Amino acid sequence: MRLSTLVPVLALVAAPAALASDDATLVADSRATIQTFKKKDANVDKFFSSAAGYAVFPSIIKGGFVVGGAGGDGVLFVGGQAVGRASVGQASVGFQLGGEAFQEIIFFENASTLSDFKKGNFALAAQASAVALSAGAAASANYQNGVAIFVATKTGLMYEASVGGQKFGYKPFDAQKK
């Protein structure tokens, strides 16, 4: 991949605020992402029905060339209702080249883990593992450290052997916007 191709990809990653949309559109996109995940693997329903809450990120943009980053906006759901806006930022270092867009859903096993997310005390370390969504993959998935993470690639190509982590933000929706 040429350097001239990487520059736009890295620019997308450096400006996650440009991905922001209005709350109603973000909620609609998040609900569509939920339906996509359920269609790809019906076994994911057990997480939707048992989780204390879940954060849905309809589009996370990632890019890297030695140093990488990713970002996106999403929605936190509790009891099936959208309760607030979530954001994710990711930094990584190591062998990496390319860019991709993916969707991610993080299920919170209990009220304590959900509360940590809402307070902004939530990050996923490099050793956190996500399940690549495919038919039947959720059947054997389990919570680890109070979370279960599922991802689905939308587009792009990324070669990667890197170390990094994700940091999350949360802001409740205004009462009148519910």
144, pLDDT greater than 80: yes
What's the predicted TM-score (pTM) here?
0.80
Per-residue pLDDT band for 103 (boundaries 50, 70, 90) equals: very high
Cite the beta strand spans of the chain per DSSP E. Answer: 53-78, 81-108, 123-124, 131-132, 147-172
pLDDT of residue 87: 94
Decide which of 130 and 166 is more confident: 166
pLDDT of residue 145: 87
SS3 assignment, position 106: strand
